[in-house]
């Protein structure tokens, strides 16, 4: 929406984004849990998505909402977009200082998981013992701690924040080494007419025979090309968004100047 405003000058795009911000505020979970769900009904109640995505608090959705609200705060300057994020962070530090489940029941706060549209409560000792024996990739439990992620987002809320941090040439060369192998694998996953084929990603993401531009393989190639062009001097040593096309199209520093 911000990009469209800069390209067209149309205020309606900014107004639409402000309405999105208000919806995010209205949809926040503010009872036994503090945060957001992955999916909602039209009445802002959490909803089922796929058979393993229950109507519940979601750490993943809470991170996305945090990023969105901070961005809208930068545009508007309205503190109301930041207020619920502080409450959410306090709750997370109290309930999940060392890691968290993927989902919490949004009414009771009990940790849950789901398979085939059936909810299983994970706060029973026998269930937890069984869950601990399952691989982390099973989707029942995440050992990641989202608190540092949210703290980092909230530490950089001002609209003057640099959209494209600068790197040293040594940092870029190190990144080039890291990306080379990933980029080299990508061309091998190509069919006879040049389309990217899903390979092992298909089972995880239910992909069709052609990968979208957001796939890890396509983005891997783009990252590598971008860093090469930085090393040879075609691009400045600035972070260009890692595939965020808004930065590629409009890299100017007046991103938040929307009138």
Question: For the segment 153-199, what is each residue's pLDDT rounded down to a tens digit?
Answer: 898 887 655 555 677 888 888 878 878 877 776 666 555 555 555 54
Q: What is the dihedral of CA 244, 246, 248, 252, to 10 degrees?
A: -130
What number of CA atoms fall less than 13 Å from residue 130's CA on the CB side? 9
* Percent of all residues in the chain with a pLDDT value above 70, rounded to a whole number: 72
Name 57's bridge partners.
Answer: 37, 104
Task: Output the pTM of the full model.
Answer: 0.70
Q: What is the pLDDT of residues 60-98, one digit of tens each?
A: 899 999 999 999 998 898 999 999 999 999 999 998 887
* Two tokens, residue 258: 């929307």
Cα dihedral angle (229, 225, 240, 215), rounded to 10 degrees?
180
190 strand-pairing partners = 196
How are beta strands 118-121 and 111-115 bridged, if at all?
antiparallel
Cα dihedral across residues 230, 246, 205, 37: positive or negative: positive
Cα diameter, the chain: 59
* Structure-block tokens of residue 88: 């959410």
Kindly report the CATH number that applies to the domain delimited by 2-154.
1.50.10.20
CATH 1.50.10.20 residue ranges of the chain are: 2-154
Q: How far apart are CA 150 and CA 86, in angstroms?
A: 10
Q: What is the pLDDT of residues 234-252, one digit of tens each?
A: 888 876 655 556 666 676 7
Q: Would you say 40 and 46 are in contact if contact means Cβ atoms under 8 Å apart?
A: yes
Q: What are phi and psi of 123, to 5 degrees?
A: -100, 15
């Amino acid at each position: 929406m911000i990009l469209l405003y800069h390209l067209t000058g149309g205020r309606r795009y900014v107004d639409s984004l402000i309405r999105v911000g208000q919806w995010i505020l209205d949809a926040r979970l503010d009872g036994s849990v503090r945060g957001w769900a992955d999916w909602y009904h039209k009445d802002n109640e959490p909803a089922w998505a796929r058979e393993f995505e229950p109507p519940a608090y979601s750490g993943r959705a809470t991170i996305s909402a945090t990023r969105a609200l901070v961005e809208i705060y930068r545009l508007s300057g309205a503190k109301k977009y930041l207020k619920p994020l502080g409450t959410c962070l306090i709750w997370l530090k109290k309930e999940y200082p060392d890691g968290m489940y993927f989902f919490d029941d949004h009414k009771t706060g009990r940790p849950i998981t789901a398979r085939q549209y059936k909810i299983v409560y994970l706060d029973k000792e026998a269930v937890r013992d069984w869950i601990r024996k399952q691989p982390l990739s099973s989707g029942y439990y995440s050992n990641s701690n989202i608190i540092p992620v949210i703290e980092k987002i909230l530490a950089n809320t001002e609209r003057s924040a640099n959209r494209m941090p600068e790197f040293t040439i040594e940092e870029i060369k190190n990144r080039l080494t890291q990306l080379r192998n990933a980029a080299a694998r990508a061309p091998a996953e190509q069919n006879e007419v040049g389309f990217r084929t899903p390979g092992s990603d298909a089972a995880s993401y239910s992909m069709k025979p052609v990968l979208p531009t957001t796939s890890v393989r396509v983005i891997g190639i783009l990252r590598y090309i971008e860093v090469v062009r930085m090393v040879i001097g075609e691009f400045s040593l600035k972070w260009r968004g890692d595939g965020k096309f808004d930065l590629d199209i409009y890299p100017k520093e007046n991103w938040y100047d929307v009138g």
